[in-house]
Amino acid sequence: MATLGGNCSLLPPSSRLNPTNQQTLSPSSAYYCHSTWNSSKSTNLTASAACFLSSSPFQQRFGFRIEKKKRNDSFSQTLAVRHLTGSLTSAEGLRFAIVVARFNEIITKPLLEGALDTFKKYSVKEEDVDVVWVPGCFEIGLVAERLGKSRKYQAILCIGAVIRGDTSHYDAVANSAASGVLSAGLNSGVPCIFGVLTCDNMEQAINRAGGKSGNKGAETALTAIEMASLFERHLKG
Ligand SMILES: Nc1c(NC[C@H](O)[C@H](O)[C@H](O)CO)[nH]c(=O)[nH]c1=O
Ligand SMILES: CC(=O)[C@@H](O)COP(=O)(O)O
């Protein structure tokens, strides 16, 4: 919910709505104000106060008309809120490192190929990608952190596969991999993306490495592009 009131930048200083005129706005529909005096830009307002705002005395007083337009997103954007997002369509020029575990290579190789194919589709150049092999998932975090701190890459993808055996070893490796990748991102300030499968059996892993559940390596690459772009566009330190 948003309130249209004293901060409405469309209104000239002399005609700001006073507090008693403020309307509580619902996120269900959008209204476009066409100002005749302020700018040629249309501004998206979220409002249910249609009757009040679009009545002709309002138009005469404030000099703009309001058109109702059904919105199809699930939440409202207000005049005051900026939405910062990464883009998938401007990946050219971004640099990525991929840390990939050799353990369960029959799974990690197709995950890596999925990631590389996706980079190609999204215009990331081959010379902007470095692949670093490590023995197993346990080693990924350390290497990812070093690569992040090198400042050479906009994001680091971490690829591996932990597959449950008979003992609790699985839990130790899977948890270490997850916390290692998380720490690498937090400590380096560079997005480190978690592309490690944690599966109960080989069948689950095959399904996620290009089988019937898709290729999680490809998904990891998309996440990496979005995060790299988000940081480049909006969160540069
Ligand atoms: N069991 C799995 C491992 N184990 C190896 C460790 O990751 C590590 O290389 C070793 O303990 C030496 O430090 N690695 C995987 O990637 N996947 C597994 O299922
Ligand atoms: C987690 C593993 O994949 C594995 O190498 C350990 O298997 P196990 O628990 O049977 O020793």
Per-residue pLDDT tens for 56-92? 454 554 455 444 455 555 656 567 899 999 999 989 9
CB distance 136 to ligand 1 below 6 Å: yes
Ligand 1, pocket-test mutation among 162, 173, 175, most atoms within 8 A of CB: 173
Task: Tally the C-alpha atoms within 13 A of residue 85's C-alpha that lie toward its C-beta.
Answer: 7
Per-residue pLDDT tens for 126-169? 999 999 999 999 999 999 999 999 999 999 999 999 999 999 99
Residues forming a β-bridge with 4 = 23
Ligand 2 centre distance from Cα of residue 169 (Å): 5
Mean pLDDT of 172-185: 98
pLDDT, residue 17, reads 31
CA separation, residue 23 to residues 6, 12, 38 (Å):
11, 18, 22
pLDDT, residue 73, reads 57
Amino acid at residue number 21: N
Ligand 1 centre distance from Cα of residue 120 (Å): 29
The confidence band for 208, taking pLDDT boundaries of 50, 70 and 90, is: very high
ipTM reported for the complex surpasses 0.85: yes
pTM of the predicted model as reported, rounded to 2 decimal places: 0.72
- Closest-CA residue, ligand 1 atom 4, reads 136
What is the chain's Cα-based Rg? 25
Ligand 2 centre distance from Cα of residue 163 (Å): 7
Per-residue pLDDT tens for 12-54? 333 333 333 333 333 333 333 333 333 333 333 333 333 334 4
Ligand 2, pocket-test mutation among 138, 169, 196, most atoms within 8 A of CB: 169
Per-residue pLDDT tens for 148-160? 999 999 999 999 9
Mean pLDDT of 183-203: 98
- Closest-CA residue, ligand 1 atom 5, reads 136
Ligand 2, pocket-test mutation among 102, 103, 162, 167, most atoms within 8 A of CB: 167
CB distance 195 to ligand 1 below 6 Å: no
- Closest-CA residue, ligand 2 atom 6, reads 165
Q: Which ligand is nearest to the CA of 165?
A: 2
pLDDT, residue 34, reads 34
* Euclidean distance between CA atoms 101 and 98, whole angstroms: 10
Between 234 and 79, where is the model more confident? 234
CB distance 135 to ligand 1 below 6 Å: yes
Q: Which two tokens stand for residue 61?
A: 């007083």
Between 61 and 94, where is the model more confident? 94
Mean pLDDT of 228-234: 96
pLDDT, residue 40, reads 34
pLDDT, residue 119, reads 98
Task: Flag whether pLDDT at 187 surpasses 70.
Answer: yes
The confidence band for 116, taking pLDDT boundaries of 50, 70 and 90, is: very high
